[in-house]
A and B are shown apart, each in its own frame.
Chain A
Amino acid sequence: MDLTLITWLIPVPPVLAFGLIVLFFNKWKRLSGSISILSMVASFVMAQIVFWQSVIEKGPELAKEPIHSAIPWLPTSLHPEEWLKMGVMVDPLTAVMLFFVSITCLCIFVYSAGYHNAGMPESKHNKKGEPPEVGTVEVMYSRFFAYISLFAAAMLTLVVADNLLLLFIGWEVMGLCSYLLIGFWFARTYPDPDKISPFKAAIKAFMTTRVGDVLMLLGIAYIYSQTGTLSFRELFEPKMLAQLAEHPSYIVGLSVAGLAGLLLFAGTVGKSAQFPLHVWLPDAMEGPTPVSAMIHAATMVSAGVYAVVRMFPLLHAGLGNGDYTAPMLAMGLIGAFTALFASVIAIAQNDIKRVLAYSTIAQLGYMIAALGVGAWVAAAFHLVTHAFFKALLFLGSGSVIHGVEHGHHHAEHVAHGHGEPFDANDMMNMGGLRTKMPVTFWTFLIGGLALSGFPLVTAGFWSKDAILGGAFEKSMEGNWLGTFVFLMLAVSALLTAFYTARQISLTFLGKPRTDAAAHASENVWTMTAPLVALAIFAIGAGWTGIEHTFPVLGELLPNWFHSFVGATVEEVVKLPVAAEFNPVPLVTSLVVALGGLALGFWLYAWRKPLETGEPDPLSGSVIYKWMQNRFYFDELYNAVLIQPTLWLARWTYTFIDKTVIDGFLHGVARSAYRIGEAFRVFDRAVINGGADALAQTIKELGMGFREVQTGRVQNYMLLALLMMIIIFVLFEIPLPALR
């Protein structure tokens, strides 16, 4: 089996599906959906083949001899061998990425069919660009599937890329697709001015990630200019890395590797919504829920972390015996801060999806902080497990929203009431859904526990523990960054567990607080089956990466993840591996996880479940208000960055464009017109006049000459006589000699 060929083919089916739907099959909804899902199945199968083959046949050796194939692509010199090459590479990290990306994408594709009410009747009231009426199929169904096919194709491209340029291409296409998908319901507007419309949210997402993307592109260009290559294999040769680390970049005392690393990290800050570029991700919840799951769990934000995970040897270069390199310092600080910051905000959010959005930001912060302290394997591990349980949580929230909307529809029918705006996302409108939507409840619970790091049975526990362990190791070595990260992440984990418990309590426990919740019902199998599939992974994925120093279980199950994936960077990165078991990180993570969960459940469920109309027990203080308004960062950016830019644009328009340029052009046009008019006068008087005068003269001459024809013979004879005399005179004058 030619794995190289299969690897090349992995991103192809979704791209084909995109093309086919866009060009030909846009009208037929079921056909488009089926093509899209089938293409994803094809990619899934191929990805799984590659993964299992590489695991079984090669194992950790894959790191030394990855599946690799490249073609010379960009003619940057005269010799084809030196051209910039594009190609695919599968090393252990890629294989694992392929594994979870393909599974989560497939689950999301299948879920989307159910979410958009495939098979339900169409409705004439549905307008293009607005969400459909409850119980009717989405109007732009085919378009949606085209977009997510493209999205999946871009992600797969990014994953199998063997060089920075191809990675960046996938990166940018995903940025485009996120814009298209967040603004999928482009005509939707809200009466509440504080609620951002999907259209604006899409632009916000695009613009914010753009900031990061530009810096990343600078980094790529910088690397290329310094090394002449963008291929990972060539960049990560130890000699190359050493050279890059030693070369000064003449900026702020950074080495080339440091500056390039920082620039590349900036791209991740944008794409993975780290502080300060985090503002787009919560508002990206305006897109349909499968999109949120796709973007914020399975693919896009993971791509951001994948990029720095992949580039870690470069970021790590020059570490030597020091505590950290500049990029690692940046990552550690930003990641840890973001984790805490986002968790605090999440506590005060009422929108079910926004809680998950901030949770995603926090978890990404975890991964980046882990990289900051050098816990590479832990970061990669958390990336994988997070994808599973976060996708599960998002899809579950979508299921909840869908069910509550159904319930609202029914309730309105029963009560014959209409028109009042009802926010199906608001957790305050839910409650008691445990009995109404059991499958959703149990899978959501599993996901939530995994997110909190419930010990032993959830994947989240293992990966979080690994991160905390790595941070603790570093702090034990005297690295202050390690200590900082450890403390911040621990507090953040506590808050994570707390708000997760809050979310579960408000949504599922207690009694329904509105009629809508009371009438909610479970969803169709295409929506619940993926939930179940992901739940399995949310539980089991963690058991592949148990630290071997863990008591009891560590001996039983080998740390396959570490040996397989860790082999990718073993040569160049010193991975923190505990020599012996240290109970501090484990105890810390147990305490924060269980404690947070207990606190949350107690406050929101066991003490007294929330009744209809009751406000959140925590609300009322000023700090809560700040948390609920996300510390007013959006407003700050708007005032400082966006309004001035808009003002500048408007000024440029009115002054430079309208007054100066248009004025100049109008002036030119006017003077040309005047010159034309002047010429016209000349034309009329001289040329016309001359021609007319000529014609007139000739006419008058003719009329004059005409008078000769009097018709009277005597006149003719007179003239003849006269002529004769004249001729005679003329002839006779020179003839006197005749005498």
Chain B
Amino acid sequence: MVPLSWYLIVAAILFCVGVFGVLARRNAVAILMGIELMLNAVNINLVAFWRYLEPDKMAGQAFAAFVFIVAAAETAVGLALIISVYRNRETVDVENVDLLKW
């Protein structure tokens, strides 16, 4: 049998990968991809906990479903923003968005 901790470990690793992607990528779209990874890691956590701890309550799955919804909405809006920025600035390199620089 697979211990719960394994799933959690996988989720943790995926989450860290996602954090790395968010922090180390220059392209805005790539950052969004990192965010997707993080969200998925969270979802894995949620479902794993549901399965191992309270499988007869639907709360875990419902919650995971909601995460899906929110992730989709957020991705859509984020990409719309990126496109808008691209239209204005001709670039999606976040290194160039540094107006708050000293």
Contact = CB atoms under 8 A, between A and B. Distances in A.
Given A721-B19, A721-B23, A713 B94 contact: yes
A710 B99 CA distance: 9
Interface string A280-293: 00000000000000
B95 interface: yes
B40 to A, nearest CB: 19
A321 interface: no
Contacts of A713: 94, 97
Interface in B46-96: 94-95
A709 B100 contact: yes
B22 A711 contact: no
Contacts of B101: 709-712
Contacts of B6: none
Nearest to A706: B102
B102 A718 contact: no
Contacts of A721: 19, 23
A714 interface: yes
A251 B94 CA distance: 120
Nearest to A712: B98
Contact of B94 (A706, A707, A714, A718): A714
Contacts of A712: 94-95, 97-98, 101
Interface string A674-712: 000000000000000000000000000000001101111
A593 to B, nearest CB: 124
A710 B23 contact: no
B77 to A, nearest CB: 17
Interface string A466-485: 00000000000000000000
B22 A717 contact: yes
Nearest to A707: B102
Interface residues of B, number: 13
A709 B100 CA distance: 7
Contacts of A706: 102
A707 B97 CA distance: 16
B95 A709 contact: no
Contacts of B31: 714
A711 B94 contact: no
Interface residues of A, number: 11
A707 B95 CA distance: 15
B23 A711 contact: no
B19 A711 contact: no
Contacts of B22: 714, 717
A710 B19 contact: no
B11 to A, nearest CB: 17
Contacts of B23: 714, 717-718, 721
Contacts of A711: 97-102
A709 B94 CA distance: 15
Nearest to B101: A711
Nearest to B96: A712
A294 B98 CA distance: 109
Contacts of B97: 711-713
A710 B97 CA distance: 10
Contacts of B19: 721
B44 to A, nearest CB: 20
A717 to B, nearest CB: 6
A710 B98 contact: yes
Contacts of A717: 22-23
A25 to B, nearest CB: 86
A127 B95 CA distance: 97
Nearest to B31: A714
A317 to B, nearest CB: 111
Contacts of B99: 711
A709 B31 CA distance: 21
B81 to A, nearest CB: 13
A615 B24 CA distance: 133
Contacts of B102: 706-707, 709-711
A712 B101 CA distance: 7
Contacts of B100: 709, 711
A237 B97 CA distance: 124
Nearest to A703: B102
A706 to B, nearest CB: 5
A721 B102 CA distance: 22
Contacts of A707: 102
Nearest to A717: B23
A706 B101 CA distance: 9
A713 B28 CA distance: 11
B100 to A, nearest CB: 4
Contacts of B95: 712
A713 B98 CA distance: 8
A703 to B, nearest CB: 9
B73 to A, nearest CB: 21
Contacts of B94: 712-714
Nearest to A714: B23
A712 B24 CA distance: 12
B92 to A, nearest CB: 13
A706 B31 CA distance: 26
Interface in A97-112: none
Nearest to B102: A709
A721 B20 CA distance: 11
Nearest to A705: B102
Interface in B1-53: 19, 22-24, 31
Contacts of A718: 23
Nearest to B100: A711
A714 B27 CA distance: 11
Nearest to A715: B23
B20 to A, nearest CB: 10
A717 B21 CA distance: 12
A657 B55 CA distance: 116
Interface string A98-130: 000000000000000000000000000000000
A365 to B, nearest CB: 110
A186 B73 CA distance: 118
Nearest to B24: A714
A717 B38 CA distance: 15
Nearest to A709: B102
Interface string A707-739: 101111110011001000000000000000000
A718 B19 CA distance: 9
Highest count of chain B CB atoms <10 Å: which of A713, A717, A721: A713
Interface of A: 706-707, 709-714, 717-718, 721
23 contacts: A706-B102, A707-B102, A709-B102, A710-B98, A710-B101, A710-B102, A711-B97, A711-B98, A711-B99, A711-B101, A711-B102, A712-B94, A712-B95, A712-B98, A712-B101, A713-B94, A713-B97, A714-B22, A714-B23, A714-B24, A714-B94, A721-B19, A721-B23
Top 9 A-B pairs, shortest CB-CB distance? A711-B101, A711-B98, A709-B102, A711-B100, A706-B102, A718-B23, A712-B98, A714-B23, A710-B101
Given A711-B100, A711-B102, A721-B19, 16 more contacts: A706-B102, A710-B102, A711-B97, A711-B98, A711-B99, A712-B94, A712-B95, A712-B97, A712-B101, A713-B94, A714-B22, A714-B23, A714-B94, A717-B22, A717-B23, A718-B23
